[in-house]
A and B are shown apart, each in its own frame.
Chain A
């Protein structure tokens, strides 16, 4: 520790090595924090703070003696404690227990030389699709619609594997009922969800509302979809709001057309 009277400029001169502040160690209860400064590959100064937990262990005399041995060889100049160049804490890796639910069998078979890698998309034979004898026949034509649903059911039952949303079984049940949805267009740029809600809540209860916004600016793109709870409310909304003046623009409201 420096005496309080020395100026900070002197301190800089005295302790800095290669323009780097000296490393510091502080002990805080069971934890030791080591602060080091060094240059990284780009030549920038970086500060490294490492925290250690201090544990006490009772060991036999021989082991305790060995603990105090002096380092030698390439480690001769190392300070006490692990050197970060030779000892690192690797990322946590959990044991993969076989038979437990998150065990994934490794796909060794894919790379085994003995097993043919090719699988024909047309006849499921052990050759590439291009070389399939059935290529161009009726089997080839009908094969595509058959394969797609079969993979979708097979894959989705296995957890942890990516399944595109359109192949998910659940997405079929979730198909929206668009019969009571209306499209409101010719909205002004400054339109917000709150304004839209104000506009439609007088007509009847709604289940869902979507206001199209510009991705970057967040401004309204000029149209919105509103799903009413009842179809009659939707019809009423078209009746009332179509041609209604709002924010210096004339709204146009119509039944929402299904996608595609």
Chain B
């Protein structure tokens, strides 16, 4: 299949996500407008206009009704997915780095950067009846992060915990009822966690780390199960919902890109076997580092967003589904 190239952004892509059914693909970039696309034919449904800074993160709730975005203009916005209008805009004290809906869609969490004399903080808000008054309501929980700032965040199982990945490579689980840390991963990673994505059943998640590895963790005990090694910083990693595969995307830092040729092969998506930790395939496409990856929920295609500003949706050929390890 020829890949679809989605050129809706003017600057590098920061995050892409499918909705639960996989018919919509959301993309955010350092320009100010997150986009939504029909994943089947790459048709753009619309743009969410309203942010005034780089959009760092986005998430869509499980009904595909609400979209949450966090941006460098120090706001978190909740959008109506269908009409592209802002439901609520919550001001923060520094730029918002991560934002996610809980699985039920009743709550949302977002974290702010450690910048401008502000500490990194994690906020949890109730979004059941989100409207414009949400910005005046106090968050249900507010956890200051003293050690290192959050660079990646996930909701744990049953909406009871939050898993945070930090700039120093630390991973922690926070119980949102107690408001405190319950599990700490220690030093499995030695540099900033760029991305974390859950497996389909949520029992484990894969991290993407600047220390050139991606690791598979148990999402309850934070035990490191597997490690996928590369020689470049890993910006994003995703687990296939149907096969025991992990896809890794990365590349060197944006500042080093101009000194590297695309032929050096640092910009391709790399497919690893989940269990054997062995790389079995690569796929070229981007001419800059890949910043975000996502599997389609049916596992038959995946999308990647790169520093080059393009989103590529690639449907797998039949060769991909043949077994290599039997």
A106 to B260, CA, bound (A): 13
Binds A, one of B113-121, B127-135, B198-206, B278-286: B278-286
Nearest residue, chain A, Cβ from B24: A66
**CB of B53 closer than 8 Å to a CB of A:** no
Q: For residue B4, which residues in chain A have a CB less than 8 angstroms away from its CB?
A: 87-90
Number of A-B contacts (CB under 8 A): 129
B64 with A66: CB separation less than 8 A: yes
> How far apart are B6's CB and chain A's nearest CB, in angstroms?
6
B279 with A94: CB separation less than 8 A: no
Q: For residue B316, which residues in chain A have a CB less than 8 angstroms away from its CB?
A: 95
Determine the main DSSP class of A at the interface with B. loop
Number of A residues whose C-beta is below 8 Å from B? 40
Q: From known contacts A75-B46, A82-B43, A88-B5, infer whether A111 and B260 are also in contact, taking CB-CB under 8 Å.
A: yes
| Mask: chain A, 153-168; 1 = CB below 8 Å from B; 0 = not | 0000000000000000
**CB of A72 closer than 8 Å to a CB of B:** yes
Q: For residue B33, which residues in chain A have a CB less than 8 angstroms away from its CB?
A: 73-74
Q: For residue B261, which residues in chain A have a CB less than 8 angstroms away from its CB?
A: 111
Q: From known contacts A73-B47, A76-B46, infer whether A86 and B7 are also in contact, taking CB-CB under 8 Å.
A: yes
> How far apart are A161's CB and chain B's nearest CB, in angstroms?
14
19 A/B residue pairs, CB under 8 Å, sorted by A: A57-B40, A62-B63, A62-B64, A67-B38, A73-B33, A74-B8, A75-B44, A75-B47, A87-B5, A89-B3, A90-B4, A92-B1, A95-B319, A95-B320, A96-B284, A98-B282, A107-B264, A108-B266, A111-B264
Determine the main DSSP class of B at the interface with A. loop
A95 with B281: CB separation less than 8 A: yes
Q: From known contacts A72-B47, A74-B47, A106-B265, infer whether A93 and B23 are also in contact, taking CB-CB under 8 Å.
A: no
A89 to B4, CA, bound (A): 5
**CB of A8 closer than 8 Å to a CB of B:** no
Q: Among residues 283 to 318 in chain B, which have CB atoms less than 8 Å away from a CB atom of chain A?
A: 283-285, 312, 314, 316-317
> How far apart are B312's CB and chain A's nearest CB, in angstroms?
7
**CB of A60 closer than 8 Å to a CB of B:** yes
Q: From known contacts A62-B64, A63-B23, A72-B83, infer whether A87 and B42 are also in contact, taking CB-CB under 8 Å.
A: yes
B64 with A88: CB separation less than 8 A: no
Nearest residue, chain B, Cβ from A109: B231
**CB of B41 closer than 8 Å to a CB of A:** yes
A106 to B35, CA, bound (A): 34
| Mask: chain B, 23-39; 1 = CB below 8 Å from A; 0 = not | 11000000001010110
A97 with B280: CB separation less than 8 A: yes
| Mask: chain B, 224-241; 1 = CB below 8 Å from A; 0 = not | 000000010000000000
Q: From known contacts A62-B21, A82-B41, A108-B266, infer whether A90 and B2 are also in contact, taking CB-CB under 8 Å.
A: yes
Nearest residue, chain A, Cβ from B265: A106
Q: From known contacts A72-B83, A87-B44, infer whether A108 and B21 are also in contact, taking CB-CB under 8 Å.
A: no
Q: Lowest 5 A-B CB distances belong to which pairs?
A: A106-B265, A73-B47, A72-B46, A72-B84, A87-B42
> How far apart are B27's CB and chain A's nearest CB, in angstroms?
11
Q: From known contacts A82-B41, A108-B265, infer whether A87 and B7 are also in contact, taking CB-CB under 8 Å.
A: yes
> How far apart are B274's CB and chain A's nearest CB, in angstroms?
16
**CB of A91 closer than 8 Å to a CB of B:** yes
Q: For residue A86, which residues in chain B have a CB less than 8 angstroms away from its CB?
A: 6-8, 44
Nearest residue, chain A, Cβ from B1: A92
Q: For residue A74, which residues in chain B have a CB less than 8 angstroms away from its CB?
A: 8, 33, 44, 46-47, 49
Q: For residue A75, which residues in chain B have a CB less than 8 angstroms away from its CB?
A: 44-47
A94 to B285, CA, bound (A): 10
> How far apart are A54's CB and chain B's nearest CB, in angstroms?
11
**CB of A99 closer than 8 Å to a CB of B:** yes
A83 with B44: CB separation less than 8 A: yes
Q: From known contacts A87-B7, A89-B4, A108-B231, infer whether A95 and B48 are also in contact, taking CB-CB under 8 Å.
A: no
